[in-house]
Structure 1
């Protein structure tokens, strides 16, 4: 694990290093908490988030997966 300190540019953006994008892809999941922001690669197992979301009704897995991955 590494720790990088990044500054936001004048537009409020941070740069994801090329090496990281090459390894994990160019789409990310951004988790925003009260006191931190977590950036995860979109590829991988999203089941670890299954207990962290609220759903109004149970649906087919593929439909729920698409909604979780929807780019907003």
Structure 2
């Protein structure tokens, strides 16, 4: 575990070390608890894991033609 002590400037800012920003990203979640404030990285969901979950039934050999006919 790495710990650093930082000061909050007059505008309420805290500087997160560059190495940490590179590792965890540039968006955070701030959580106020009874006895402390927690800063957690906000990870964007990996939506590509859902791409293979959709099944498509192909009716004929000319899929493009069928799709265009369905739109008309």
Q: Same fold by TM-score, threshold 0.5 exceeded?
A: yes
Please list every run of at least 4 consecutive aligned residues from structure 1 whose deviation after the TM superposition is greater than 4 angstroms: none
Q: How many residues align?
A: 45
Could you tell me which runs of 5 or more consecutive residues in structure 2 were left unpaired when the two chains were aligned.
46-72
Distance 2:30 2:10 in 1: 20
Q: Which has the larger radius of gyration?
A: 2
How far apart are 1:44 and its partner, in Å? 7.2
Could you tell me which runs of 5 or more consecutive residues in structure 1 were left unpaired when the two chains were aligned.
46-72
Partner of 1:35: 35
Higher share in helix = 2
What does 1:52-63 correspond to in 2, within 5 Å? Answer: none
TM-score w.r.t. the length of structure 1 is 0.55
